[in-house]
Amino acid sequence: MTLRRRVRKLILIVHLTVSVGWIGAVGAYIPFDITAATSQDSETLRTAYIAMALIASNVLVPLALATVSTGLVISLGTRWGLLQHYWVLISFLLTVAATVVLWLQTTGAISYFAAVATDPTTSAADVQTLGNTLGHSLGGTVVLLMILVLNVYKPSGLTRYGWRKQHEQRDPRTRTDAARSGR
């Protein structure tokens, strides 16, 4: 099913907004992560962990989910399709993987850090030994940038499914008998 032009443009606007916004939000998250990795002051660390949790749960996760869903809609609703071109398929898989890792981090380590940081009875030493998620946030940034590059350059490459689909569209004789009998 191909979306109408206006609807496609609208969904594309939303998709671009949330996906690029995701990259920007990670850029806002990383300084707090760096602070968590380098600071020795317990009060600064508490603030950083709380900020990390707020950004992750209220901004990053919703943007990631919106990116996956709008990406699905726009790929299935246009002639690009989800499975026909390698760049679309790989972008989608990378986005899903990044979303899953983000979700696991948010509900795991990040949430734990914030819970410890917000507890007034937690000692300064406990806060100082909590750690950071810098590996994940930097790795996630690299993955998001790779997806961005794929989406801008759209390197050529049809999957077998895409090749078959395009040939069916060009030559009705290559369609299956079942499809032909329905005409």
Q: Is 82 in the site for another protein (CB under 8 A)?
A: no
> In the bound complex, what is the minimum distance in angstroms from residue 49's beta carbon to another protein?
9
Report residue 115 CA to chain centroid gap.
25
Q: Which is nearer to another protein, 72 or 158 (CB)?
A: 158
Which range touches another protein (CB under 8 A), out of 26-34, 37-45, 65-73, 104-112?
Answer: 104-112
Q: Which of 37, 50, 73, 134 binds another protein (CB under 8 A)?
A: 50
Q: Which residues pair with 158 in a beta bridge?
A: 85
Q: Which is nearer to another protein, 31 or 129 (CB)?
A: 129
Q: Which is nearer to another protein, 109 or 144 (CB)?
A: 109
The answer to whether residues 76 and 172 touch, using CB atoms and an 8 Å cutoff, is no
Per-position DSSP letters for 111-142, written without gaps between them: HHHHHHHH-TTS-HHHHHTS---HHHHHHHHH
| Residues found near another protein in the complex (CB under 8 A) | 8, 12, 50, 53-54, 56-58, 61, 74, 78-80, 84-86, 90, 103, 106-116, 118-119, 121-123, 125-126, 129-131, 155-158, 160, 163-164, 166-167, 170-171, 173-174
